[in-house]
Amino acid sequence: MTAPFAASRRAPAFLQAGATLLEVLVSLVLVLVALLGAVGLMARSNQSELEAYQRFQAIALNQDMVSRLNANRDAAACYSNGIDGMTLGTGAAPATACVGAAKATYAATAVADLNAWHQALLGSTEQQGTTKLGAMVGARGCIEQIDAVAQEYRISVVWQGLTATAAPAVACGQGQFGNDAYRRAVVTVVRIGKLS
Contact 102, 161 (CB under 8 A): no
Task: Answer yes or no: is pLDDT of 34 > 70.
Answer: yes
Distances (CA, A) of 171 to 81, 91, 158, 174, 191: 17, 16, 10, 5, 20
Task: Answer yes or no: is pLDDT of 11 > 80.
Answer: no
Measured CA to CA, the distance from residue 106 to residue 110 in angstroms comes to 6
Task: Please provide the average confidence, as pLDDT, over all residues in the chain.
Answer: 86
Sheet of 140-147, strands arranged across:
86-89, 140-147, 152-160, 183-191
Task: Give the DSSP H or E segment for 104.
Answer: helix 104-121
Measured CA to CA, the distance from residue 22 to residue 28 in angstroms comes to 10
Residue of 153 and 194 predicted with greater confidence: 153
pLDDT band at 17 (very low <50, low <70, confident <90, very high): low
Q: What is the DSSP string of 106-128?
A: HHHHHHHHHHHHHHHHTTTTSEE
pLDDT band at 30 (very low <50, low <70, confident <90, very high): very high
Each residue of 104-145: pLDDT tens digit? 888 899 999 999 999 999 987 776 777 767 778 889 999 999
Most confident listed range (20-24, 169-173, 184-188): 184-188
Which amino acid appears at position 169 of this protein? A
pLDDT band at 191 (very low <50, low <70, confident <90, very high): very high
Each residue of 38-71: pLDDT tens digit? 999 999 888 889 899 999 999 999 999 999 999 9
- Give the mean pLDDT of 145-153: 90
Confidence at residue 176, expressed as pLDDT on a 0 to 100 scale: 87
Determine if residue 23 is left, alpha or beta; phi over 0 gives left, psi from -120 to 50 gives alpha, anything else beta.
alpha
Confidence at residue 81, expressed as pLDDT on a 0 to 100 scale: 84
Among 67, 83, 78, 52, smallest CA distance to 147 is for 83
Which sequence spans correspond to the domains of the chain? Answer: 22-191
Contact 175, 113 (CB under 8 A): no
Confidence at residue 33, expressed as pLDDT on a 0 to 100 scale: 94
Please tell me what DSSP assigns to residue 74. Answer: G
Distances (CA, A) of 153 to 25, 129, 189: 65, 36, 6
